[in-house]
Amino acid sequence: MSRPGFVLEVDERTPPILFHYGEGFRLEKLPLGSRVIYPPDPLPAIGDLDAAIEDALDHPLNSEPLDDLLRAGMRLTIAFDDISLPLPPMKAPDARTLVLEHVIERAARAGVDDVEIIAANSLHRPMTAAEIKHIVGERVFSSFWPDRLYNFDAEDRDGLTLVGTTDQGEHVEISSRALSSDLVIYVNINLVPMDGGHKSVPVGLGSYRSLKHHHNVHTLMHSRSYMDPPSSAMHASCDRMGRLLEKSLKVFKIETTLDNRCFGAPFDFLQKREWEWSARDQATYLTTARVTNRMAVQLKRELFSRIRAPYGVTGVTAGETEAVHERTLGAVYRQQSVEVDGESDILLAGLPYVGPYNVNSIMNPILVVCQGLGYFFNMYRGRPLVRRGGVMICFHPVPREFHQVHHPSYVDFFEEVLPETTNPQLIEEKFEERFATDPWYIHLYRKSHAYHGVHPLYMWYWAAHAMDYLGDVIFVGGDRNTVSRLGFRSASTLDDALEMASHTVGSSPRITAMRCPPLMISDVK
């Protein structure tokens, strides 16, 4: 049985705590009495994954077995999660590769000719051929790329169909190919509780017209949190859309869950609790920290982008969307949830080099905010880890760097919008339509590998709840000018940051640190 999550109380015997610091690390000696939250150890991975997939396809939840749904002459669309999952990308074979091969094997056996495989990237950047190949595997790639295996295009007006409108007035517009299929099979990786369920098809294969109903400030402000679907307005909206969609479309969902082995050797020390570091772990840390500290940033980025996670698959569930997702969520929480007693005044989080939107790319300042205030802040159920009016202290260098191919609209957002206002509501009112409909951004999204023009605004909205809730946000080691543009403050050291925070939360605050990697969900009682 794997070890459950743990809340450490820092005392004089506690070694320094490791924090991600972009493409580097920091060891910080925390004040006595601080709490550090550690996620559970990895759950046991499935030994015979092929057998588990076969079993899931033969015994789906609330659905006929997959073989009974496949027949010659049918129109079959298979969709899968894009490169934003999992993080870091998984060592080959990716869980999706194995599931896709089983599905396609059965489709071939049933004599299905009309098969198309779509990367459900929504408004994310289209993936490169190499990235798709890594996800789907060599066999699938060579059989279907590029005509029958491709990125979804949310701006292809001819390829989109309006399904209808929910009782809340939300338009559901998705891929025409998917909608006109006899069966859509969706293959996902459920890394965190936010993923999967009805968020897969209506979002992954949906257009801006659909997404704007839940990717907006009002909805995201009422999603408390994204990691707790029953308390998330965004998920409620997705559920309404998904239910409407499934009235006219048969969806067979296959969800996979992973353990939390994010880093293998030689970086496996990152996963260990500090007091369990061996001499070798300490030496590896010291070497890694020294090397990354002195390495050119491009080289460092290249080094980190080559890291592949040795994730193990802990569950495969197939069948009807909601029944499948309920079981999936249980598995995700088993792996990630930690019970925490009460809120704190200050929340500490080290932000890693990779997030969902900068795989093989650069984590630009907007994405840093999304990572810290959007994701890390929201990794809770019940109540946030920090009290209203409290302070969040993040560790990240926040360099003023952008990937010119992947994030063109981010540059404009940073240079033109943020100097004018950092208020998500005002940004939405004044700038969203312009960014969403700009022809140049649309062109880059469709023909290059750029994120959709509206994407940086969505990232900013993602942080809206935290911005409203927190009294102060401080980036330790952050570039002063960049952080200031974002509307936050930077500090050189943790001690400085705590001193700055004392003006907001007093001189003897209760401090809680999230120890990442791996990811965790705090159940705050």
Applying CB under 8 A, does 341 fall inside the site for another protein?
no
Contacting another protein within 465-484 (CB under 8 A): 477
**Given the complex with another protein, which of 9 and 67 has the nearer CB atom?**
9
Q: Considering the rule CB under 8 A, would residue 448 count as an interface residue with another protein?
A: no
Rg (CA), the chain: 22
CA 438 vs CA 159, 401, 412, 452: distances in Å: 19, 23, 12, 10
Quick one: 111 or 342, whose CB is closer to another protein?
Answer: 342
Q: How far apart are CA 103 and CA 254, in angstroms?
A: 10
Q: Which element (helix H / strand E) includes 17?
A: strand 17-20
DSSP state of 376: I
Amino acid letter, residue 393: I
Q: Which stretch, 54-62, 181-189, 270-278, 343-351, contacts another protein (CB under 8 A)? A: 270-278
- Report d(CA 359, CA 65) in Å as an integer: 35
Amino acid at 64: E
Going by the DSSP 8-state scheme, the letter that residue 2 receives in this structure is: P
Count the residues of the shown chain that bind another protein, applying the rule CB under 8 A: 25
- Residue 140 CA to residue 163 CA, distance in Å, equals 30
Give least dist CB 270 to another protein, A.
15
- Prior bond to 225 cis, omega within 30? yes
Minimum distance from residue 22 beta carbon to another protein (Å): 11
Candidates 2-10, 69-77, 237-245, 367-375; binding stretch for another protein (CB under 8 A):
2-10
CB of 500 to another protein, least distance (A): 17
Eight-state DSSP code of residue 249 = S
Nearer to another protein, 72 or 299 (CB): 299
What separation in angstroms does the CA of 165 have from each of 72, 162, 241, 277? 33, 8, 8, 55
From CA 518, how far away is CA 525, in angstroms rounded?
22
Write out the binding residues for another protein, residues 8-47 only, by CB under 8 A.
8-11, 13-16, 27, 29
**Residue from 290, 306, 388, 525 binding another protein (CB under 8 A):** 290
Q: Which is nearer to another protein, 7 or 307 (CB)?
A: 7
Contact 41, 149 (CB under 8 A): no
Task: Determine which residue in the list 51, 108, 286, 291 makes contact with another protein, applying CB under 8 A.
Answer: 286
Q: Which residues contact 251 (CB under 8 A, 6 or more apart)?
A: 183, 184, 185, 186, 201, 245, 320, 321
- Decide if residue 295 touches another protein (CB under 8 A): no
- Per rule CB under 8 A, is residue 275 in the interface with another protein? yes
Minimum CB distance to another protein smaller for 274 or for 412: 274
Cβ proximity to another protein: between 182 and 281 the closer is 281
Residue 299 Cβ vs another protein, minimum distance, rounded to whole Å: 17
Q: Which is nearer to another protein, 111 or 266 (CB)?
A: 266
Query: Residue 16 CB, nearest distance to another protein (Å)?
Result: 4
Site residues for another protein, 385-404, by CB under 8 A, read 397
- Nearest approach, Cβ of residue 269 and another protein (Å): 12
Apex 164 CA angle, 160 and 170, nearest 5 = 100
The stretch among 134-142, 199-207, 272-280, 298-306 that binds another protein (CB under 8 A) is: 272-280
Between 91 and 510, whose beta carbon lies closer to another protein?
Answer: 510
- The H or E element containing residue 98 is helix 95-110
Which tokens hold the place of 426? Answer: 């005002």
Footprint of another protein on 40-79 (CB under 8 A): none
Q: Compare residues 107 and 483 and give the one whose CB is closer to another protein.
A: 483
Report whether 230 contacts 163 (CB < 8 A): no
If phi over 0 gives left and psi between -120 and 50 gives alpha, with beta otherwise, what is residue 510?
A: beta
Residues interacting with another protein, by CB under 8 A? 6-11, 13-16, 27, 29, 273-275, 277, 282, 285-286, 289-290, 293, 397, 477, 492
